[in-house]
Homo-oligomer: A and B are copies of this chain.
Amino acid sequence: MRPTPPARRFDPGRRDRIIDVTLEVVAAHGVAGTSHRKIAEAANVPLGSMTYHFTGMDELLTLAFTRLADRFADRFDARLRAAADAEQAQEAVVALITEDLLGSPRDVVLTYELYTLAARDPALREVTRAWMARSRQALQRHFDPATARYLDALIEGLAIHSALDPDPMSIDDITAAISRIIST
């Protein structure tokens, strides 16, 4: 009896899958607790495959967070694109905070991890920069540039504080805060 052959797998899209799995591992263990081993195991891929497809952890994290930011920005964009007027836009922003940003603890955690990396790594700061730029662009569909910028900052702050606060703000509070920042 020969041992089972090493089971060379035909696995297109493997690279792509690894990138997605990376975000899951980071969400579960933090960047600090993320390793090639954990990702490889979660993706059901041999360890050697990791450094075959990516030059190192840095590249992998950059790719993964770029994907994350793109998805956030897409959702942001879609919400505001669907709003017909300023009033609907305001509702869209509230929904965005309460549903998109706070709805998934996973995403909250990942956002912080991204900011922490971005504070050190220019490559990831570029990712956050592009994300912010797209957000403001989306807001400018309905608000003037200055308001868009203030609003973007407020959204950020509301999301963070709501996430960290054991007694988070109500939707009414969030709506009220937003009303103030867009009143010109």
- Tell me the A residues contacting B by CB distance below 8 Å: 30-32, 105, 108-109, 112-113, 115-116, 118-120, 125, 128-129, 132, 146, 149-150, 152-158, 160-161, 163-166, 169, 173, 176-177, 180-181, 183
Question: Of B32, B149, B165, B183, which is within 8 A of A31 by CB?
Answer: B32
Q: A133 CB to closest chain B CB, in angstroms?
A: 9
How far does the alpha carbon of A108 sit from the alpha carbon of B118 in the complex, in Å? 11
How far does the alpha carbon of A70 sit from the alpha carbon of B99 in the complex, in Å? 32
> Is the CB–CB distance between A161 and B132 below 8 Å?
yes
Question: Of B112, B116, B132, B154, which is within 8 A of A165 by CB?
Answer: B132
Q: A23 CB to closest chain B CB, in angstroms?
A: 15
Q: Which residues of B contact A180 (CB under 8 A)?
A: 150, 180-181, 183
